[in-house]
Chain A
Amino acid sequence: MEIPYTTEIRPDTGVYNAKLGIWLFLASEVMLFGALFSAYILLRVGAPPDMWPHGWLDVRFGTLNTILLALSAITTLLAWAACKVREFGKFRFFHGCTILLALTFLGIKSYEYHDKWIHYEIHLKDGTIADGHLVEQNDTEVVIHGRIVTDETKLYDLRAQKDIQLTELTIPRADIKAMENYAPRHNTFTAIYFTLTGLHALHILGGTCVIFYLWAFGGAMWRKDPERFTNRVEVSGLFWHFVDLVWIFLFPVLYLT
């Protein structure tokens, strides 16, 4: 038994099955991320005005990652075009680039996550707050590379604070009232930041796996049915473009505002 229109286009609808399928799937993905962005808006609008963090994320890394994904969108397109003109070698070159770009993106993202994970806000018993990156800790003291503020709201908006002096601080455990890293539980911003970018990173990972599968094991299908293989490259490319597009929204929403 053969399913019709797996490769050839159905004339009255103008698509083959998988292309329609991926567009429907992307519609559902739009609703998924749409709901998360709506949640972001609602939570942010509901937050007290001076309590929403600004400038917590490094715009340089965000920009670099944006460029990486934009380039990967181009290489994805070129890989598909190479399939269209039946040049498998070029396909492998371009999608090889896509995979490398995606892995670099994930590497940078992991570094950013790690940076937040070792960033601690330490409430001291004298009422001040020490805030900075953990250097080392043991049973008696905690060493961070950071600063001491008297007012918690100073930690929220970093955009206006041009010259923040960071020094190495050694804090005895006995002085510490509470200590928490910038994990999702820290506040609503870190929570939504980790959730949104984490879900996006999972999408990147999934897309990379699919593209890697086509890159590494696609040869057999290429020799048997190049048109069908080209369709697969197109469909996975559509998903990849969607994932890029989500980042185009994530970047300004999280990094620039």
Chain B
Amino acid sequence: MNDSVSQFPPYREPDDSHGHDGHGDHGDHGHHEHFDPGFWSKYIFSTDHKVIGIQYGFTALCFLLFGFFLMLLMRWQIAHPGVPVPAIGPLLEKILGAPAAGGAISADLYNSFGAMHGTIMVFLGVVPLAFAAFGNYVVPLMIGAPDMCFPRVNMASYHAFFLGGVVMLVSFFIPGGAAQAGWTSYSPLATTIPTDGQAFWLIGMVLLITSSLLGAVNFIATIIQLRAPGMTWMRLPFFVWAQFVTAFLLLLAFPPLEAAGVLQLMDNLGHTSFFLPTGLAVGGQLAGRSGGGSPLLWQHLFWFLGHPEVYVLILPGMGIVAEVIANNARKPLWGYKSLVYSVLTVGFLSFIVWAHHMYLTGMGQRIATFFQATTMIISIPSVIILTCLFLSLWGGSIRINTPMLFALGFLPMFGIGGLTGLPLGLAAADLYLHDTYYVIAHFHYVVAPGTIFALFAGIYFWFPKMTGRKMNEFWGRVHFWCSFCFMNLVFMPMFAQGIKGMLRRMSDGAVNYSAAKVPNAIDTLPGNIMELNSWILWAAIGLGLAQIPFIVNLFYSISHGEKVTSDNPWNATTLDWQTPTPPPHGNFEHALHVVHGPYEYSAPGHPTDFTPQDEPLDLPGATPPPAVKPHTVH
């Protein structure tokens, strides 16, 4: 293998890889001190993958916070239906007008908050942060590349994303307000609600899809083309594999939603009937459409994206957790190959499970049975990944620090989210649980204490590389423990509410529903289940307060954090730590040659407990071991 590796052409021009005194007439890499663009081209129109990563990260964190505030308002409405929102109620009325009359949240406003909370969290928060921000910053560093394959496409990707976000936000202020048909935008509801918010939503989505398309092409091409010499496929860090599969999911799953979006846009603006059935009546009147469309078609196209999207949300998180665990357990990941093949299998299978979101649509028992089977099958590689991560801890000398705490928190939280998904994958159980708070609890466990914990781990982990300073450890731990407790206090009760039958989209927190008494039938919603609504509200407020240490820590540490003393403060093995801190334009100061796998921690006989990927493993006074043989656990 080494022979084929050494046949690679030199990665850099020879005169550039030796010494930095020769001013080559092309390129300025290695001479980053001469690279001094103005503010606009440095921070706004930058083509540097690291700046773009930070742009994505900052924007996505803002959107996450905004989506969280939408959720707080909704939780207030659920706990206290119709009661004006304290403190910011008048402000809401001033900004949004009639839908927030008297400072209270009307049903329409609740619906648009619900739709936009989902949209913002998924498409403008978690995906940009997990895939675009970490992917942009870390992947080229990890594979030893000077930048992404297509730097200008990368910039265009961020700008399309930003524009999409702006369109989404603007829709709050148009007459009728933002989209109200849920983040899934089911037709015909999405076409018949009298607001143009849905058109804004669709145009925003088209921009976001364009952005992720450009990003996905760039990531895949970068990982395939720009791996440093010696960085063979099985030497890629698991994070890179996770991003690679994620990019394929985005590349292939998003276009059907774009197609669906174009069709729904035609329905909304061109008055076609792609998703509107014949004889559709709205408000007791015939809708005056030609009909002949299929509401089920929208759901198929939407969930063809929607389910791979779930793995887009989770796989980068798993990748981050794998890196943090390997680094802090000081031993190689257990079952690296199993992890790689599992993540590939998950990626493939995620394309053929989408209709398990549609058991209740009457699409037919045979189709349901097929998707039930594939859904059960996809849980196998997911469990393998989680098991490998758990087993990687066994026998390690574990360092507990903030990134590690978040990574460790991820494991059981994602476990709860995953296991509670199994009943939803079985058609019979899903008929009962569908559209209840049980579903909400399930997927929030996967994404909120799951992915978002992984993202926090990643922020604390790579912050020293981005800034040259560490974030404060004490406040990091406060952030972790408070978030951990409140996350569970928020989402655990929802399982109980869902099992008791509380439906997820009721703007009055099920007050009317629970008041309905059917003679000789099971009581609808008992009082103690309804009481949980206010418990959750307080837990959610607590969760919000728990983020204050993080926000302050993040900004304070940029300029006042403890300075790192080396380029590799965590003693990590992967190439992202073999750069100057912060990495200059062009990343690496010397030519790289990768000689072994990504997780050579605690190699026996080696003077340090970590061996970077570009540092040979041969040990003093010993015969060199076969360089590429993965180090295994005994």
Q: Which A residues are closer than 8 A to B by beta carbons? A: 1-5, 8, 10-13, 15-18, 20-21, 24-25, 27-29, 31-36, 38-39, 42-43, 46-47, 51, 183-188, 191-192, 194-195, 199
Contacts and interface: CB of A to CB of B under 8 A. Distances in A.
A24 B292 contact: no
Q: Tell me the dominant secondary structure on chain A's binding face.
A: helix
Contact of A21 (B150, B254, B292): B150
B4 A12 contact: yes
B26 interface: yes
A24 B266 contact: no
Contact of B8 (A12, A21, A27, A47): A12
Interface string B255-275: 110111011001000111110
A43 B274 contact: yes
B301 A39 contact: yes
A199 B261 CA distance: 13
11 contacts: A1-B27, A2-B26, A4-B226, A13-B225, A20-B221, A21-B221, A31-B251, A31-B256, A36-B259, A185-B271, A194-B270
Interface stretch (B197-205, B211-219, B328-336): B211-219
A32 B266 contact: no
B221 A35 contact: no
Given A17-B225, A21-B217, A186-B290, A2 B251 contact: no
A25 B149 CA distance: 14
Given A21-B217, A186-B290, A188-B292, A35 B151 contact: no
Nearest to A185: B271
A43 B150 CA distance: 39
Given A21-B218, A188-B273, A39 B259 contact: yes
B285 to A, nearest CB: 16
Contacts of B273: 185, 187-188, 191
A191 B267 CA distance: 9
A182 B272 CA distance: 11
A28 B255 contact: yes
Contact of A25 (B217, B253, B297): B217
Nearest to B146: A1
B221 A184 contact: no
A34 B266 CA distance: 18
B290 A185 contact: yes
Contacts of A16: 225
Given A5-B226, A185-B270, 6 more contacts: A1-B585, A1-B586, A3-B149, A28-B251, A31-B255, A33-B259
Contacts of B292: 43, 46-47, 51, 187-188
Contacts of A31: 251-256
Contacts of A33: 259
Q: How large is the interface on B (under 10, 10 to 19, 20 to 34, 35 or more residues)?
A: 35 or more
B623 interface: no
A38 B263 CA distance: 12
B301 A4 contact: no
A38 B294 CA distance: 12
A230 B251 CA distance: 27
A188 B226 contact: no
B272 A191 contact: yes
A42 B301 CA distance: 11
Nearest to B150: A21
Per CB-CB distance, the 5 closest pairs between chain A and chain B, nearest first, are: A35-B256, A1-B29, A32-B255, A1-B586, A35-B259
A131 to B, nearest CB: 15
B266 A191 contact: yes
B284 interface: no
B147 interface: yes
Given A1-B27, A28-B217, A188-B273, A20 B225 contact: yes
A3 B271 CA distance: 48
Nearest to A45: B294
Nearest to A15: B225
A144 B403 CA distance: 74
A46 B255 contact: no
A245 B68 CA distance: 46
Contacts of A185: 270-273, 289-290
Contacts of B27: 1-2
A27 B29 contact: no
Given A3-B147, A12-B8, A188 B293 contact: yes
A49 B111 CA distance: 39
A8 B260 CA distance: 39
B224 interface: yes
Given A4-B11, A21-B221, A185-B270, A35 B290 contact: no
A62 B201 CA distance: 35
A47 B297 CA distance: 13
Contact of B7 (A11, A25, A38, A46): A11
A28 B213 contact: yes
B221 A1 contact: no
A11 B8 contact: yes
B9 to A, nearest CB: 7
Most buried by B among A8, A12, A18, A39: A39
Contacts of A191: 266, 270, 272-274, 290
B28 interface: yes
Nearest to A33: B259
B29 A2 contact: yes
Contacts of A15: 225
B461 interface: no
A42 B28 CA distance: 55
B13 to A, nearest CB: 8
Contacts of B217: 21, 24-25, 28
Interface in B149-169: 149-151, 153
Given A5-B225, A20-B221, A47-B292, A184 B255 contact: no
B225 A28 contact: no
B258 A32 contact: yes
A190 to B, nearest CB: 8
A186 B251 CA distance: 34
A180 to B, nearest CB: 9
Contacts of B29: 1-2
B164 to A, nearest CB: 17
B220 interface: yes
Given A4-B11, A34-B256, A43 B297 contact: yes
